[in-house]
Amino acid sequence: MDKQNPVQEIVSQPYKYGFVTEIETEKIEKGLNEDVIRLISKKKKEPEFLLNFRLKAFNQWLKMKEPNWAELGYPQINYQDIIYYAAPKASEKKESLNEVDPKLLETFEKLGIPLSEQKRLTNVAVDAVFDSVSIATTYKEKLAEHGVIFCSISEAVNEYPEIIEKYIGTVVPINDNFFASLNSAVFSDGSFVYVPKGVNCPMDLSSYFRINSGDTGQFERTLIIAEEASQVSYLEGCTAPMFDTNTLHAAVVELVALEEASIKYSTVQNWYSGNEDGVGGIYNFVTKRGQCRGKKSKISWSQVETGSAITWKYPSCVLQGEESIGEFYSVALTNNHQKADTGTKMIHVGAKSRSTIVSKGISAGQSANSYRGLVQMGPKAYGARNYSQCDSMLIGDKASANTYPYIRSQQPQSSIEHEASTCRISEEQLFYLQSRGIGFEEAISMMVSGFCRDVFNQLPMEFAAEADKLLALKLEGSVG
């Protein structure tokens, strides 16, 4: 079959059903220099400390080299060809779902996303009751009752500058890595959460419901602070496919958990991953790190990574507090030409700190899926324990699954256990399910879902159900 022509056709035509028609009111020239940073800071009306923070980061960034140790093999990014500031974009409202790409609606249907949500995602005008803004307002009132602050980081910079100044850049320093420095210099927007002492946040916070979220842009920055004995669960992203014209996404997420506080951070990432031939797609280079600063504090990362052409992220925990707990649960699925290099770092500093890592990688098509993680026991991590499990599933003989676990111990009274295995969907299992009348693709998806169960169990309810379907959808047509 001559596949060349239809593919070319699709590639050459612009995406018909674009979500957003950009009516940019204001933007600055392409490129990055000190003036651009001053301009960004000025436009956002930021206090001086933040401008200095950005400038310092920028100067660091200039001295740094783009890393290539992960051998991800992406074309060189021209950092002077990016627009680093654009004023909030207005978007065209659509009258009804009929105007939306039917393929996309089909995807929504398969994912089981509720109608009102579908409308919101596709920018269709929704009735007042379901309007996301009104939902968000209601949420905001409820949160305020408990003293929880949940707003965009730009808002927080102006309203709570002292908290921002105290915490920003303390978990991920401005010179941490190339992309984190770049983010620190030019970050656009993101979420800010502050949970006061002793408060158990009354609901799961989601990046969805933040008002004024607008377009967070390429350089998202999130800061979550949980004061003593508080609890919060934050959800980022969604299962719906997200399209974006920006190729590079370099976000930074910082979490701070004080004594006995607990933060649960869940991500579902389904950015555009390029077409079947690996053309296009997002580069998702993220720095996520949490510090368990207080005694018995806990940070738990769970993630389902299915999108992006290249995913490069290692959500980490620095376990400083005595008896602090770090967790990492991850499912990374790659198909076609996707590349995912993901894992975690568990850095045990405090005595009796504990960490658990469960990572499931599924590689299909011609993709590459790597687990890269570090478990480090510092000299003072007396009685610390770690357990890691990294399983890979290979679908087809062109995909690769790599495991690079770095293990380092300087404390004899600590213990580290790591295990990894590789498997595939066996003919026998398939036959068993098929002989019971279960369709081929459904059987595959059942097995994948079973493989990922340990991780799905850690996801918030609504995410878990969607994530399951998302994997099935992503694997469609890749088997057999």
Q: Contact with another protein (CB under 8 A): which of 381, 399, 459, 464?
A: 399
Roughly how many angstroms between the first and final C-alpha of the chain, as a whole number? 18
C-alpha dihedral, 82 to 88 to 93 to 98, nearest 10°: 30
x/- letters, 136..175, toward another protein (CB under 8 A): ----------------------------------------
By CB under 8 A, residue 402 contacts another protein: yes
CB–CB of 245/214 below 8 Å? Answer: no
User: Is residue 404 a contact residue for another protein (CB under 8 A)?
Assistant: yes
Listing DSSP states for 445-461 in one string gives: HHHHHHHTHHHHTTS-H
| 364/354 Cα distance (integer angstroms) | 33
Buried-state track 425-455, b at ≥16 Cβ within 10 A, e below 16? beeeebeebeeeeeeeeebbbbbbbebbeeb
In residues, how long is the chain?
480
- Does 410 sit near another protein (CB under 8 A)? yes
Q: Which is nearer to another protein, 64 or 82 (CB)?
A: 64
Shortest distance, position 424 Cβ to another protein, whole Å: 4
Residue 335 Cβ vs another protein, minimum distance, rounded to whole Å: 14
Number of residues that bind another protein (CB under 8 A): 35
Closest CA to 336 of 447, 479, 127: 479
Q: Is 69 near another protein (CB under 8 A)?
A: yes
Tokens of 347: 């850095």
- Asked if 415 is part of the footprint of another protein (rule: CB under 8 A), the reply reads yes
Footprint (CB under 8 A) of another protein, residues 4-43 = none
Q: Which of 420, 438, 446, 473 binds another protein (CB under 8 A)?
A: 420
Asked if 453 interacts with another protein (CB under 8 A), we say no
Q: Does 396 engage in binding with another protein (CB under 8 A)? A: yes
Site for another protein in 357-386 (CB under 8 A): 377, 379
128 secondary structure, DSSP code: G
The residue range among 45-53, 127-135, 339-347, 405-413 that interacts with another protein, by the rule CB under 8 A, is: 405-413
Site membership for another protein, residue 444 (CB under 8 A): no
Closest contact distance (angstroms) between CB of 159 and another protein is: 44
**Considering only 34-42, 187-195, 344-352, 408-416, which stretch makes contact with another protein by CB under 8 A?**
408-416
Buried b (16+ CB within 10 A) or exposed e, 126-144: beeeeebeebbeebbeebe
Say whether residue 413 binds another protein (CB under 8 A).
yes
Q: How far is the CB of 318 from another protein (least distance, A)?
A: 19
Coil, strand, or helix at residue 431?
Answer: helix
Candidates 116-124, 266-274, 277-285, 397-405 — which segment interacts with another protein by CB under 8 A? 397-405
* Residue 56 interacting with another protein (CB under 8 A): no
Contact between 358 and 389 (Cβ < 8 Å): yes
Q: Note whether 394 binds another protein by CB under 8 A.
A: yes
The smaller minimum CB distance to another protein, of residues 86 and 374, is found at 374
Q: How many Å apart are CA 3 and CA 276, to the nearest integer?
A: 11
Q: How far is the CB of 327 from another protein (least distance, A)?
A: 19
Dihedral sign for Cα atoms in the order 380, 406, 184, 196: negative
Nearest distance from C-beta of residue 422 to another protein, angstroms: 4
Q: Which stretch binds another protein (CB under 8 A): 102-110, 124-132, 199-207, 414-422?
A: 414-422
Question: How far is 224 from 415, CA to CA, in rounded Å?
Answer: 30
Element (H, E) at 339: strand 339-342
Segment interacting with another protein (CB under 8 A) among 81-89, 160-168, 175-183, 395-403: 395-403
Which of 135, 242, 407, 465 binds another protein (CB under 8 A)? It is 407
Reduced to 3 states (helix: H, G, I; strand: E, B; else coil), residue 222 is: strand
Tell me, residue by residue from 319 to 348, as one string, x for binding to another protein by CB under 8 A and - for no binding: ------------------------------
Q: Which is nearer to another protein, 89 or 418 (CB)?
A: 418
Q: Rounded to whole angstroms, how far apart are CA atoms 343 and 354?
A: 17
Asked if 405 touches another protein (CB under 8 A), the answer is yes
Q: How far is CA 121 from CA 84, 102, 114, 145, 390, in A?
A: 25, 14, 11, 29, 34
String of b and e for 341-372 (b: at least 16 CB within 10 Å)? bbbbbbbbbbbbbbbbbbbbbbbbbbbbbbbb
Q: Nearest distance from residue 336's CB to another protein, in Å?
A: 15
Our finding on whether 424 is near another protein (CB under 8 A) is: yes
Closest CB 267 distance from another protein, rounded Å: 25
Residue carrying the six token digits 């991590």: 381
409 sits near another protein (criterion: CB under 8 A): yes
**Binding status of residue 416 toward another protein by CB under 8 A:** yes
Binding site for another protein (CB under 8 A): 69, 377, 379, 392, 394-424
